[in-house]
Amino acid sequence: MRLAVVLRRVVLFISAVMLAVSSYADLTIEITEGVDNPTKIAIVPFEHRGKPLGADLAGIIAADLARTGQFEVLPRAGMLGLPRSEEEVFYRDWRSLGVEYLLIGRTSLQNQRLELAFDLFDVHRQQRVLGQRHANTVLELRALAHGVSDSVYEKLTGIEGVFATRMAYVSVNGDPASGRSHRLIVADADGARPREILKSDEPILSPDWSPDGRHIAYVSFETNRPAIYRQEIASGIRQQLTAFRGLNGAPAWSPDGRRMAMVLSRDGNPEIYVMDLATKKLTRITNHYAIDTEPDWTPDGLSLVFTSDRGGKPQIYQVALDSGAVKRLTHRGSYNAAAQVLADGKSMVMVHRDNGAYHIAWQEFATERLIVLTRSDLDESPSIAPNGSMLLFATKYKQRGVLAAVALDGGFKYRLPSPNSDVQEPAWSPKM
């Protein structure tokens, strides 16, 4: 099937699903580029017993899988049957529709306890390849559906799913003349269930998740100068970590969650520091007359990558925490910044200037091989999914700030615009 036809069907399908959940979402999904030869899957509406759920779990799962670009979901109108059990599955019917995999499920709701069972079938081999049973409260319907999506995705691709993860971002309303309102939002990875974490008339920047997903760090200007805070998401309890004169910015949790890298100008020049979160003891990591900023940890916790203009233009450097030895990582282009290291420790993504425009690029450490992943005009703030397959970034579209996502191979892209505000500063959560 031609790519354009596949992509059009995926867009139409997701549009229908997102209309059903629009009351939950601040962001909506617009697929902008698909992939060739996606796996064709049919997801039958789940049989349900008990009180109505108020949510289409099969539709949420279908939207999750379609959003990866690796699956073409068969529209329900094209289904020849709605099987509820393996005995009702007629493989010949699904094979005639070109379906490769079939997902069916059953749910029941009693006393606020939801039980879900699902089965995944390989249509060509005519056998069940996955079957699971789950239970959860009715308040966690979407989380339960995302968990099913994760299981199916990992079974069919061999890659851990990230549908049950979350994202943080900053939503900005108003205009500079009349005043702007800034909100720090946490939402599901598909933009649903947005929750306001902080609201301020002053800017909020640089959200970063703790490794356990329970806390978030950010920069707030609410005291009329930048300060770093950490906040427990469930309770809302927060703590101000820094209040030094000058710059307090770019917080980054260590892989073990015990330390936080940050940028401070307390000694007159922006430098990288590391704070022990238990004792609040600060250790200065860089010492240079240039501007050092935007730290990120390597997965082993032994070094940091950061942006510095010590070579004349912003480039990415790495510093070993034990010795303080610094080496330059980027040499292509006059501007590279905001690096994020992938979980394998072998590569990173960053903002890369190319022909005067700012794009997101990927670079391998060993070879310095560089691939530009995006081609919009002003791309920034990359944040990697915990499975390393995609990343979120901020960009401009129709004069508005929007979030967008791109596969690390550059083959699939989608936007997450907000109808009511500019959105920026995305941060993808760890696996929840």
Residue 256: CB atoms within 10 Å: 9
Kindly provide the b/e burial profile for residues 70-97, where b requires at least 16 CB atoms within 10 angstroms of the residue's own CB: bbbbbebeebeeebeeeeebebebbeee
Structural domain includes residue 162: no
Residue 74 DSSP code: P
Nearest to 42 by CA among 18, 13, 19, 22: 13
Nearest to 70 by CA among 29, 35, 120: 35
C-alpha dihedral sign at 167, 68, 122, 145: positive
Same domain, 356 and 238: yes
Same domain, 403 and 354: yes
Same domain, 420 and 307: yes
Question: What pLDDT sits at residue 69?
Answer: 85
Please give the angle made by the CA atoms of 353, 317 and 288, to the nearest 5 degrees.
110
Same domain, 204 and 152: no
Domain finish residue from 122, 138, 157: 157
Written as one string, the DSSP assignment of 297-348 is: E-TTSSEEEEEE-TTSS-EEEEEETTT--EEE---SSS-EEEEEE-TTSSEE
Same domain, 153 and 180: no
**How many angstroms separate the CA atoms of 209 and 260, rounded?**
11
Q: Which two tokens stand for residue 259?
A: 């330390």
Same domain, 182 and 140: no
**How many angstroms separate the CA atoms of 211 and 346, rounded?**
20
Q: For the chain, what percentages of helix, strand and coil (3-state, to nearest 5) are there?
A: 15, 45, 40
Same domain, 231 and 119: no
Domain of residue 55, residue span: 3-157
Same domain, 340 and 287: yes
Same domain, 206 and 259: yes
Residue 409: CATH number of its domain: 2.120.10.30
Question: What pLDDT sits at residue 384?
Answer: 97
Structural domain includes residue 390: yes
- Per-block mean pLDDT, blocks of 10 residues, the chain (432 long): 36 37 56 77 94 90 92 96 95 97 94 90 97 83 93 96 96 83 95 94 97 97 95 96 95 98 94 98 95 97 97 96 96 95 96 91 96 90 95 91 88 82 96 83
Question: What pLDDT sits at residue 359?
Answer: 95
Residue 127: CATH number of its domain: 3.40.50.10070
Structural domain includes residue 318: yes
Model pTM?
Answer: 0.89
Same domain, 94 and 201: no
Same domain, 140 and 193: no
Q: Which two tokens stand for residue 177?
A: 């003349």
Q: Please report, to the nearest 10 degrees, the dihedral formed by the alpha carbons of residues 306, 312, 313, 319 taken in order.
A: -10
Classify 100 as helix, strand or coil: coil
Residue count (the chain): 432
Domain count for the chain, please give it: 2
Same domain, 368 and 265: yes
Question: What pLDDT sits at residue 23?
Answer: 36
Question: What pLDDT sits at residue 35?
Answer: 67
Structural domain includes residue 424: yes
Question: What pLDDT sits at residue 22?
Answer: 37
Domain finish residue from 123, 157, 191: 157
User: What residue has token string 């209309």?
Assistant: 19
